[in-house]
Amino acid sequence: MGSFRSLLILTAGAVLGGAALIAYRISEESGKPFQEALSDVPAEAQRMFADLRGRADDAMERGREMYMEKQEEMGERLQEDAPIQ
């Protein structure tokens, strides 16, 4: 029970810290006061997660392509190395 409470407090602190960091970055980039930048945090967080998701999808696709190329290459090598009967 005590570890769950600690985990909950740690998670809440991380979320609040992340929101403050995003708001600080927004205020620095736009020149808005920190309090006004806090209202932009949800939209910015959504944009950041969408960007992260897009990058992850691109990396997964490149990984699949590389895997398929390697599989084809290994198949070709096995065909070349197969004994001729």
Binned at pLDDT 50, 70 and 90, residue 81 comes out as confident
The angle formed by the CA atoms of residues 79, 82 and 84, to the nearest 5 degrees, is 115
* Structural domains of the chain, count: 1
Residue 26 located in a structural domain: yes
Q: Is the pLDDT of residue 63 over 90?
A: yes
Phi, psi of 15 (to 5 degrees): -65, -45
Which domain, by its residues, includes 43? 2-79
Q: Is the dihedral of CA 51, 27, 29, 17 positive or negative?
A: negative
Q: Which pLDDT tens digit goes with each residue over 13-35?
A: 999 999 999 999 999 999 989 99
Instruction: Give the model's confidence band at 2: pLDDT under 50 very low, under 70 low, under 90 confident, else very high.
Output: confident
Q: What's the mean pLDDT in 43-72?
A: 96
pTM listed for this prediction: 0.63
The answer to whether position 84 is within a domain reads no
